[in-house]
Structure 1
Amino acid sequence: MLTLLHLLSAIALLLWGVHIVRTGIMRVYGSQLRHILGKGMTHTPLAFATGLLVTALVQSSNATAMLVTSFIGQALMTLPTALAVMLGADVGTALMARVLTLDLSWLSPLLTLVGVSLFLSRKQTRLGQLGRVLIGLGLVILALQLIVTAAEPITAARGMEVLFSSLTGDTLLAALLGAIFALVSYSSLAAVLLTATLTDAGLIGLPVALGVVIGATIGSGLLAWMNASVQSPAARQLALGNLLFKMAGLLLLPVIDPLVGLIQLTKLDPATLVIGFHLVYNTTRCLLQLPLIYLMAHICQKLLPEYKQPDVVARPRHLDSGALDTPSLALANAVRETLRIGDLVDSMLNRVQVALHEDRPGLDDEIRRLDNDIDALYNAVKLYLARLPRDELSEEESRRWAQIIELAVNLELAGDLIEHMLGKIHNPKTLSRRAFSKDDLEELSCLLGHLADNLRLGLSVFLCGDERSARQLVIQKHEFRHHERKLAHAHVDRLHERVLESLETSSTHLELIADMRRLNSLFCSPAYAVLERVQPSIESLLLGNEASQHTLTRLPASKV
């Protein structure tokens, strides 16, 4: 029982090591790998080579599949090109299996020592995450050694010999076990490494091992299919094509025994034969299937046609779940989706501007739908960021995380506020525009124009983090406040002059100005997040702007 526990713990260590290497590489070089994949979109051979390279680095074709799925889901990559990338990923997995089965026992303690030193001393830096990768590689090599040691007494047990001998001659069952192990371990690489180790220890025969290798390859395709089942039709088409390509390996099962007799003529040890078969099998299969990617893409598009269903509310376009293992990518996705919310708020302001001057049918419904879209995207961004592990973010990433949340909240509040503003502009009883005076309309329209300008500048500051633009935004915020006060006073003067339209809409007019003041504060909030990084207190900025504010107060209202 203790021996079996040692074997299971060694297998668990192998899986954990592969996971650490994959996540470490994605966190350090995730954006670069995404860029490399993007560059490989033009030619089929280049896409194949790109998939091979990326998978060799992250040691997981599943990680490559998640990156490619995000590209094809955003229409940044065609289906045939994505299939070529996945074929290259299969070869990359086989190459890494060959590297990791070399005699690297001397390297394991060195990698672990250096990796732990880097990770503990510089945990939140790129160098610290690189140390994490070295730890994972050291654990993989150590786990393979422990599996060999733990398997030796098991091979001598009569019961285990009978158990594994039952698989002899049933290659289909062996393939099924390989697929199950790849699904459970979330890695076909780990399944192949374990199979090679157990074969070398004499625990399983070579025919069974080859069947397990074929099954593990199919298991990785099943895993990609399961991950894509809730994604876009294009992502499901890619997963289906990838799975169908891998299932072609089942054609080899009837000829496993003659194939074993052929490869045993090489006189190599069993582990080398298993790894060599995995490499040759994947390379040959993928090269033969590479010219068929356009045919496979056509078949998948026929089997899983894309259909357009009317969206009740907007759906997120950039919140790729596959990027959550790479915080920098995930934050960039959240930024893009938040900017999309900002564009929707800008559209709402434009419709309020229209509502001031004309009675357009359906305007209320348009603004209501836009506000619903904003609410939906805000919730999506919020839940997406909640899935990021905060304790693993660097200081800069944590700051960016907080900025995204703050702006998303402000934009959601702004959407609600703008919807209420439209209700004040329209007479709820007659569903017509309130009869503002000509001067009132010009003032409100002017304030809305300034408000839209501040929103756009605020989104630019949020995206770029430019200090000069942030200072300009703060100045424009105070210019808006000064302008808003002057217009409010001008409105009161018209009340004194007994202008009938102004008297009838006075309450609504002043409420709208107050709402715009609140919106202005929400739109200008990104400036303070930027300026707090370059100065300890914002008060010095405000004091520095007193002169400009004093100058503004002396200008006539027509020039403000």
Structure 2
Amino acid sequence: MDIFNVLTLIGGLSLFLFGMSVMGQALERRAGDQLRTLLGKLTDRKIAGLLTGLGVTAVIQSSSATTVMVVGFVNSGIMTLKQAINVIMGANIGTTVTAWLLSLAGIDSGNLFIKLLKPSSFTPILALIGIIFYMFCKSAKKKDTGMILLGFATLMFGMETMSGAVSGLQDVPAFQQMFIMFKNPLLGVLAGAVLTAIIQSSSASVGILQVLAVTGQVSYGAAAPIIMGQNIGTCVTAMISSVGANKNAKRAALVHLSFNIIGTAVWLAVFCVLKALLRPVILDEPASRLGIAVAHSVFNVLCTLLMLPLSSFLEKLVTILVPDDKRSDAVAELDERLFATPSIALERCHTVAAEMAETAVAALKDAMVSLRSYTPALAASIREKEDKTDHYEDILGTYLVNLSTRQISEADSREAAKLLKMIGDFERIADHAVNILESAEELRDKELRFTEDASSDLTVVSAAVRDILDLSLNAFLHDDLNAASMVEPLEQVIDQLKEQLRTRHILRMQKGDCSIDAGFAWSDLLTSLERTADHCSNIAGCVIDIAHGNMDIHQSLRAFRTGSEDFRQRFQEYQRKYVLNGYFVQKRQEK
């Protein structure tokens, strides 16, 4: 083996790792919705959690990425440690899929059909299809499909390149001696752990072992301990990701490490006993690519069968290793560890944004209650909700901007843009809640009272604002286009209510029924309520725009108001519903 073989080996390894990364990222983007569905079905049942971990890892082709994601979930408080344990066990089985795919490269037969199953036969076709999809299709999903095929083709080409480069090692005495040395189980475990810790992928390290098996110098007796060690080495990624996380997240990372160490210790002991007592002939035979894939799968399944009944023991063990203390654990609403799987990170953003929306709407409704039933406790609650929405806007804005800079699907990009637009509107709604509260406090401190007619008018417009808040919130939470389409007609009615109420109040002041101070408070109240309706209109318009792939909200609302019979009918319905004492709200003609 000369310097050119070494360079070829390095190039092949680089292509192999790059192809695996590209394929995994494209698979995650293409299967984003399925990942959300899988994780949405999480329960405390062991089998359900196990299958979830298996399914997610089979999709993204990385148990390390799955475990990092689990650490992020636990750190965010959206997954319990008990659920995390089952998912981590499933991830160890899901990661074996890659080895089975790579084992296809070892197919050798004169049969035409079987030859077609060999990657070197069908990979060029996949690469051709992939480049057509990637370069000539406009659909983001088809482009991602093209990247999956190109990534797989690159991965297999890299593997074939490595196989050709290492074929000459079979005649190198030092290489033969190295794998004789690895027949010592402890050295084999150490070698597998170190290699996997360096490249941070057990799938990739198993693939490298399958390539080395081409030389015929890797026996099953040497391969088995290396495979066991690879499971320990892959824990490095999760352990690193848990730095700075809360106690439960650190426990989740330790579960991954403890699971693999205990599983390796038990089955390595069994392996050594069988080797010493029975001396199986197969342990001295050269390992094949398929044989390594089988050994990898069998070992991971055996570890899971051993530890699944002991999940409670694992939970207690890591709780002892990371004990509770007097300080309460901080929960991160949005964890950057989830960036490894952008679709899941975006789903978490939507959950936090939903909490923000409900908080803002609740604050505004409480503020309207404070106008009639003010209490210091209610005032404190409103201000607390407003502070909470400020916090949500800050963390969501930063997180979504960082997420948008990563490679995400077209659908996820639209969802991120929608959230970035809407969180500002919800934050402003909470601000108006405080403005209304301050008006209530001014009325209370100055001992001002509205007349009976003014109170009646306020009841009408408050009911309309409550209605529009509910409609816009429902439209956002459930992407309800029907609710969203009902917002704009009601917003127009509220605009006209505001003008009508101001006119009526001026007339009352001219008659001496209302004071000037009360008039200032009345004007501030109407402004806050009308602007709240404007923000609700923005939210509903954004929901409609995103659903139709349009980002120009003003153009959409203008077209909806001027050219929709449905808009006119609903406008008239709201006119009849929100009638002032002695007045109907008259429709203004849009110019």
TM-score by length of 2: 0.80
State which drifts further: 463-472 or 24-33.
463-472
Residues 473-552 of structure 1 mapped to structure 2, 5 A cutoff: 473-499=487-513, 502-532=515-545, 533=548, 537-544=556-563, 552=575
State which drifts further: 58-67 or 149-158.
149-158
Q: 2:53 aligns with which of 48, 51, 54?
A: 51
1:372 matched to 2:383: no
Contact preservation (8 Å) 1:197, 1:271: no
Change (3 A) 1:7 1:343: same
Q: Distance in 1 between matches of 2:194 and 2:530?
A: 61
Letter in 1 for 2:393: Y
Partner SS state of residue 403, structure 2: coil
Query: Which residue of structure 1 aligns with residue 115 of structure 2?
Result: none
Show CA shifts across 1:89-141 (max 9, x none): 22332353144123233233232222222232336443332232222222222
Residues 86-485 of structure 1 mapped to structure 2, 5 A cutoff: 86-102=88-104, 103=106, 104=118, 105-122=120-137, 124-152=139-167, 161=175, 164=178, 172=186, 175-201=189-215, 209-231=223-245, 233-248=247-262, 249-250=264-265, 262=279, 264-265=281-282, 268-272=285-289, 274-304=292-322, 317=333, 319=334, 321=336, 324=339, 328-389=343-404, 392-393=407-408, 395-427=410-442, 432=445, 435-439=448-452, 440-444=454-458, 446-485=460-499
Query: Which residue of structure 1 aligns with residue 580 of structure 2?
Result: 557
Q: Distance in 2 between matches of 1:476 and 1:308?
A: 52
Change (3 A) 1:73 1:110: same
Letter in 2 for 1:129: D
Change (3 A) 1:369 1:423: same
Contact preservation (8 Å) 2:162, 2:211: yes
Partner SS state of residue 357, structure 1: coil
Unaligned segments of structure 1, at least 5 residues: none
Q: Distance in 1 between matches of 2:570 and 2:26?
A: 50
Partner SS state of residue 376, structure 2: coil
Partner SS state of residue 371, structure 2: helix
Q: How many equivalent residue pairs?
A: 553
Partner SS state of residue 95, structure 2: helix
Contact preservation (8 Å) 1:52, 1:85: yes
Unaligned segments of structure 2, at least 5 residues: 107-117, 586-591
Q: Distance in 2 between matches of 1:37 and 1:24?
A: 19
Change (3 A) 1:467 1:209: closer
Shift of residue 50 of structure 1?
Answer: 4.6
Query: Which residue of structure 2 aligns with residue 83 of structure 1?
Result: 85
Q: 1:35 aligns with which of 34, 37, 58?
A: 37
Shift of residue 391 of structure 1?
Answer: 7.8
Change (3 A) 1:145 1:259: farther
Shift of residue 70 of structure 1?
Answer: 6.1
Partner SS state of residue 65, structure 1: helix
Shift of residue 454 of structure 1?
Answer: 1.3
Query: Which residue of structure 1 aligns with residue 588 of structure 2?
Result: none
Percent of aligned positions that are identical:
24
Shift of residue 238 of structure 1?
Answer: 2.9
Q: Distance in 2 between matches of 1:33 and 1:547?
A: 42
Q: Distance in 2 between matches of 1:271 and 1:512?
A: 78
Show CA shifts across 1:290-340 (max 9, x none): 22112222333444456796799xx764x4656545555444432332221
Contact preservation (8 Å) 1:196, 1:271: yes
TM-score by length of 1: 0.84
State which drifts further: 261-270 or 85-94.
261-270
Q: Distance in 1 between matches of 2:184 and 2:480?
A: 66
